[in-house]
Structure 1
Amino acid sequence: MNFIHNSRDIAYRFPFGAVKAGSAVELSVRAEDVPAHALAIDLRVWVDGRGETIVPLERRADGIFTCTLLCPEPALMWYRFNIAVEAPDSTRRLYLGAPEGKTGGVGQVYTYPDCPSFQITVFQPRKLRPTWYEQGMVYQIFPDRYRRDPAWRERCERALVEHPTKGVPRRIVEDWNEPPVYDRNEDGSIASWDMYGGSLKGITADLDRLAEMGFTVLYLNPIFAAASNHRYDTADYLKIDPMLGTEEDFRELCREAEARGISIILDGVFNHTGDDSVYFNRYGTYPEPGAWAGEDSPWRDAYRFNADGSYACWWGIGNMPDLNLTSPTVRKLIAGEHGVIRHWTQAGARGWRLDVADELTEQIITDIRDVLLDEKPDAVLIGEVWEDASNKISYGMPRHYLLGYELDAAMNYPFRSMVLDFLLDAIPAAEAADRIEALAENYPPEALRCSLNLLGSHDRPRIASVLGGGPDESQLPEEERGRWRLS
């Protein structure tokens, strides 16, 4: 007996890949060496939140078994085939599902029902697609280390005087080529943050060169006020970090970029802030009481405190307290009428990349998307998701990033992994092709076009280091990481 279904062959599944809500999918199974009268095949479909549906397959004249699967609304649908082979004295039950560890391809026969299922992504298309991004080429900029402008030192020194902190101090690094390193206290905490003085005006001055190289999108790592040089510990979402410049500098950057056919994407860090922020205010840097001050603070419910006074923080890092994303205060701050998304989109941003999207609620992502598209109907929303974003399980719960009401797409780390694994001879060409086809099958076509295809990022080593045989940075002492160079 042989049963055949290939989710990537239109003879067995039509149309290929993800489908629009309201569509129908034709599914087929070829049965070989089995008497037709002794065979029954059902389609078993599972949709999270709705449960199981069984659809009988009909036998065609050519011996192929088929059925039509209706896909009325956005959902992640999982299917397998239940096979009953009747014999005079018994019934044998088999199950035709996806290959082990995969969600598509040539099916495999199992003897147990809890086998891998095939995936169908049913999505709601956008009314207006961000073609400027789909057809674009992105350049990522880490602002503090990109480019200074002639007034950088004066601005940075003025920022230290006019915006003093009672938390971790900042130190201006004069020599641009000095290797970056964390200055730490004896207990391992950060003693000071090195600031190299890269600025928004420095980026603006380099736009002609970027345009000449063919870049049409700039993705900026965080630019809002923060304590650190990486600025993922936001101090004030509604202010540009004074060492980078001013809001007018940002607006000028957006205007000048647009004049050269370049769009700006901002980094939104919305699942945590810094502890030295206007919202948490652990050290008393700001005049108004932050959540750290106690129950009387207007920001208290913006965070998640425990009975003993401790608080939830990002991966246990105390200077990055987690935001309470169910708090009306937080939702108003991020997606309110005068909130972060609307303010900076009006100022010139054309899209957002959401940091640690796995740790954001589906509701807050939907809120962000609604506000963003209300401001700019062709804007783009990208999420930091390290795996296949169509079927991600986060903290034990399935996420629905690509169904049409959350993200447009994700950072395409699976693409990076495939390229590097292939070039480093860790996988054969067939496996590389299979990984590409899996994304093409699972992602809606417009999400695939919006994926941020990258080979390196601020979170991963440069590709030159990886392909050049560089060491695993996690195995290097911290003080050597910034100094290490390829021979």
Structure 2
Amino acid sequence: MPRRPHHDSGPLCVPVAAHALGEEAVLRVWVPDSYPVTAVALRAVVDGEIRTREARPLPAADAPSADAAPEEPTPAEAGAGTWWQVRLRAENPVVPYRFCLIGPGGGDVPAYAWLTAAGLIPWDVADATDFRLVVHPPAPAWVADAVVYQVFPDRFARSASAPVDAEGRPAPQDLPAWAVPMRWDEEPAVRGDITGRQLYGGDLDGVIERLDHIASLGADTVYLTPVFPAGSVHRYDAATFDRVDPLLGGDEALVRLSQALHARGMRLMLDLTTNHTGDTHEWFRAAQADADSVEAGFYLFTEHPHAYRSWLDAVPSLPKLDHRSPALRARMLEGPDSVVGRWLAPPVWADGWRIDVANMTGRHDDVDLAHEVARTLRGTMPEGTWLLAEHGHDATGDLAGDGWHGTMNYTGFTRPLWAWLAEPGSTLNWLGLPTTVPRLPGPAIARTLVDYNAHMPWPSRLHSQNQLSSHDTPRTRTVVGTRERQIVAVAALAALPGVPTLFAGDEIGAEGSTGEHSRTPMPWAAIAAVDDAAPADGSAPADGSAPGDGPASEGSAPVDAEVLRATRALLGLRRREPALRRGGIGLLHVEEDLLVLARTHPEGDVIVVLARASRPGPVELDLRGWTGIIGLEEIHAEGNVGGSADGALLTIRAAGPGAAFWRARRS
């Protein structure tokens, strides 16, 4: 194992954090004995200028988790290395910092190197991957502990009282002209205009009736895609923001759902489009009707009333909003009576907003108000609510300020996991690129996990969503191809920093080749049959049947009982282990088919092994070279991965795809 100095932004390396301007943080760097140094220096940037301070080695008695060090610490060993400590005052809301390591050099150890969030680099590099001390008000404390369950309302569950016709198709009192009623067991279309018109009849009372299932997965936050009336079933083309779609049960049903969630100690997150509305929106209709109206200033008309900017300038049903309009900002973003404020207040009391295409909001041509919109949103939202940005590529430039708490981390989580675990020869599109999903080796994946996320402030990464799939992508199972690799993917979801977010249906191994095709109705009878057949302790069936051979009823949506069991176990493990929710992270070992990492926390570390395939021989890791770990206790294993510990020597064996988690004890 490479023995290299380490620092991250977790509580082991930052045992005392700064929460306001003027407060001091305590920063620690682990330097193994195999990497000789004569000095460790902090370099920060304050008011645009470099500040430096020398770090001091900690006595063994104070390492590695004491809150404060003596004034004059003396060198001492802690396991197989030394902790060095320094203090940094938060003189700006965001203070970039890095460490310089100086030593005699020789062999593989340079005489001079920088330690940044991207790792140890023996040459001068730009500041983009510096660690950051951030004292902007953080996301609410509950977010770091959350497990989110994403619900596409029309496809999740029909309530017992939902009206249907004799053939089982939804039969609401007022069926929209765009709607094509569908039986619950019919497969959704793969692509085309029909995808937004297929109405299956799921509603918000149906979500209430299935909260036991959601809670069984360890999830404590329900994220609903839009609930406002619209011209399609996906509802990103809202016709108003002032009421809930009657097809979903109206305002009263959303209040009932919120009350049911809060009574269980769970939370509700809603979805809002701030970049555009639908072309049937009451604001847009008023804007088209009168060029002198206030609403006409909400949109970007190039020739009134029929020529205007739209989403991607290619979808005229989604006219783009112009956030230069003070009236628009007042109506949509600012204050408790705005769209943003209203749904976070009683009687709904939603706990946060996910903002659709946040990366495009307020941006067009030479106008860039995206950060201003984010700050305004956050200023309107009450304390204790979460503000999340949808962003499909590099979101890091939008995350260092006092706007979005986090993003949907497609680039720093979804894409690398897909590329590592993808079915060989996959023909699926790789999240919008003109290519199919590649199958990349472990070192390439590790570089993305480290390098990209190094550009993201730690609070933003901790409060961003990690998702293996969503309503906009192919399904996880279709991407990875097998049950075993899907379980590895769920293990990564449980293991890596960020908020695990599960798209409804992934827990049963549902398949889908496009985002639209992935919006498959949940097969509740089949899920109930699997649950009824499962042993009470969650173990494999005793009748000799293969795990996962659950019923395949209700059309095209079979239930993989083994994936369901593993999802419950792995996300339950996440909820129990502080290191998996709030700990720092370091990569211990990387091979083509194997990733080994540690999540570190003063309450106990967790070693995580992820294997996408078998390995011909064991891997031996001397963990003293990183943190001085002296013992390991197995806490969970999935699939074909196991190991044993002898002192600080961990031997890992992988007979196929799988994952293992061990709790580590420190000297």
Candidates 191, 198, 201, aligned match of 1:194: 198
1:241 correspondence with 2:245 = yes
1:180 equivalent to 2:178? Answer no
Contact 1:291-1:298 within 8 A present in 2 as well: yes
- Kindly indicate whether the alpha-carbon contact (under 8 Å) linking 1:148 and 1:201 is maintained by their aligned counterparts in 2: yes
Match of 2:92 among 70, 73, 94: 73
Question: Taking structure 1 as reference, are residues 172 and 128 closer, same or farther at Cα in structure 2, changes over 3 Å only?
Answer: closer
Give the whole-Å Cα distance in 2 for the aligned partners of 1:447 and 1:179. Answer: 37
For residues 405-426 of structure 1, give each alpha carbon's deviation from its aligned partner in whole angstroms, at most 9, with x where no partner exists.
2122222321222333333494
Choose the corresponding residue for 1:139, options 124, 128, 149: 149
1:8 and 1:16 in contact (8 A); partners too: no
Q: Aligned letter for 1:120?
A: F
User: For residue 318 of structure 2, what is the aligned residue in structure 1?
Assistant: 320
Q: State the secondary structure of the residue aligned to 2:149.
A: strand
Q: Matches of 2:288 and 2:139 in 1, distance apart?
A: 43
Matches within 5 A, 1:465-476: 465-468=478-481, 473=513
Deviations 1:379-401 (A, max 9, x none): 21222133564xx2xxxxx42x2
Aligned to 1:412: 409
Task: Note the C-alpha offset of 1:265.
Answer: 0.5
> Between Structure 1 and Structure 2, how many residues are aligned?
424
> CA distance change for structure 1 residues 115 and 7 in 2, over 3 Å: closer, same or farther?
farther
Matches of 1:472 and 1:157, distance apart in 2: 28
* Cα separation, 2, equivalents of 1:472 and 1:97: 45
Which residue among 255, 259, 262 is the counterpart of 1:258? 262
**What are the residue-to-residue correspondences of 1:139-158 with 2, within 5 Å?**
139-149=149-159, 150-153=161-164, 157-158=172-173
Conserved? CA contact 2:358–2:391, under 8 Å: yes
Aligned to 1:345: 344
> Taking structure 1 as reference, are residues 305 and 233 closer, same or farther at Cα in structure 2, changes over 3 Å only?
same
User: Of 115, 120, 130, which residue of structure 2 is paired with 1:119?
Assistant: 130
- Equivalent-residue separation in structure 2 for 1:252 and 1:383 (angstroms): 26
AA aligned opposite 2:375:
T
Secondary structure of the 1:158 match is coil
1:87 alignment counterpart = none
| Residue pair 1:17, 1:442 contacting (<8 A) in 2 also | no
Where does residue 212 of structure 1 map in the other structure? 216
Secondary structure of residue in 2 paired with 1:230? coil
Per-residue deviation, 1:445? 4.9
3-state secondary structure, aligned to 2:302: coil
Aligned to 2:469: 456
SS of the residue aligned with 2:350? Answer: coil
1:431 shift after superposition: 4.8
Contact 1:225 1:241 in 2 (8 A): yes
User: Is 2:376 aligned against 1:367?
Assistant: yes
Change (3 A) 1:465 1:331: same
Q: Which runs of 5+ in 1 are unaligned?
A: 31-35, 37-41, 61-65, 84-94, 282-289, 393-397
Calculate the TM-score normalised by the size of structure 1: 0.70
Is the CA contact 1:97–1:117 (under 8 Å) kept in the aligned structure 2? no
- For 1:197 and 1:484, locate their aligned partners in 2 and report how far apart those are by CA, in whole Å: 18
> Is 1:159 equivalent to 2:174 in the alignment?
yes
Change (3 A) 1:108 1:176: same
Q: Which amino acid aligns with 1:179?
A: E
User: Structure 2 vs 1, CA of residues 115 and 16 (structure 1 numbering), >3 Å: closer, same or farther?
Assistant: farther
- Secondary structure at the counterpart of residue 247 of structure 2: coil
Corresponding position of 1:33: none
Contact 2:43 2:53 in 1 (8 A): no
Q: Is the 8 A contact 1:8 1:17 kept in 2?
A: no
CA drift of 1:227 comes to 0.6
Which amino acid is 1:292 matched to?
Answer: Q
Does the CA contact (< 8 Å) of 1:137 and 1:215 recur in 2?
Answer: yes
Q: Is the 8 A contact 2:196 2:233 kept in 1?
A: no
- 3-state SS of the aligned residue for 1:243? helix
Measured after TM superposition, the shift of residue 307 of structure 1 is: 4.8
Q: Distance in 2 between matches of 1:428 and 1:224?
A: 43
| Deviations 1:299-356 (CA, angstroms, capped at 9, x unpaired) | 1111111257621111121110111112122212223332212221121311111111
- Code of the aligned partner of 1:381: L
For 2:276 and 2:470, how far apart are their aligned partners in 1? 21
The aligned residue for residue 104 of structure 1 is 118
In the aligned structure 2, how far is the partner of 1:440 from the partner of 1:464?
A: 25
Change (3 A) 1:179 1:191: closer
The amino acid of 2:310's aligned partner reads C
Alpha-carbon distance in 2 for matches of 1:195, 1:372? 33
Could you say if the C-alpha distance between residues 96 and 238 of structure 1 is closer, same or farther in structure 2, counting changes exceeding 3 Å?
Answer: same
Cα deviations by residue, 1:88-142 (Å, 9 ceiling, x for unpaired) = xxxxxxx97789xxx62111426xxx857542323125378332x3222211100
* Whole-angstrom distance in 2 between the partners of 1:216 and 1:130: 14
Assess, with a 3 A threshold, how the Cα gap between structure 1 residues 279 and 18 changes in structure 2: closer, same or farther: farther
Q: Secondary structure of the residue that 1:464 maps to in structure 2?
A: helix
| Contact persistence 1:422–1:432 (CA under 8 A) | yes
Fraction of identical pairs, as percent: 28
Q: 1:39: which partner in 2?
A: none
| CA–CA separation in structure 2 for the residues paired with 1:385 and 1:195 | 27
RMSD in angstroms over aligned alpha carbons?
4.8
The yes-or-no answer on 1:171 pairing with 2:179 is yes
Contact map agreement 2:478 2:512 (CA 8 A) in 1: no
- For 1:177 and 1:342, locate their aligned partners in 2 and report how far apart those are by CA, in whole Å: 38
Deviations 1:253-298 (CA, angstroms, capped at 9, x unpaired): 11112222221110111111001111112xxxxxxxx212232333
Shift of 1:222: 0.6
CA contact (8 A) 1:270 1:355 kept: yes
Conserved? CA contact 1:226–1:233, under 8 Å:
yes
Deviation of 1:456 after TM superposition, in Å, equals 0.9
Aligned counterpart, 1:354: 355
Report the Cα distance in structure 1 between the residues aligned to 2:91 and 2:265, rounded to whole angstroms.
39
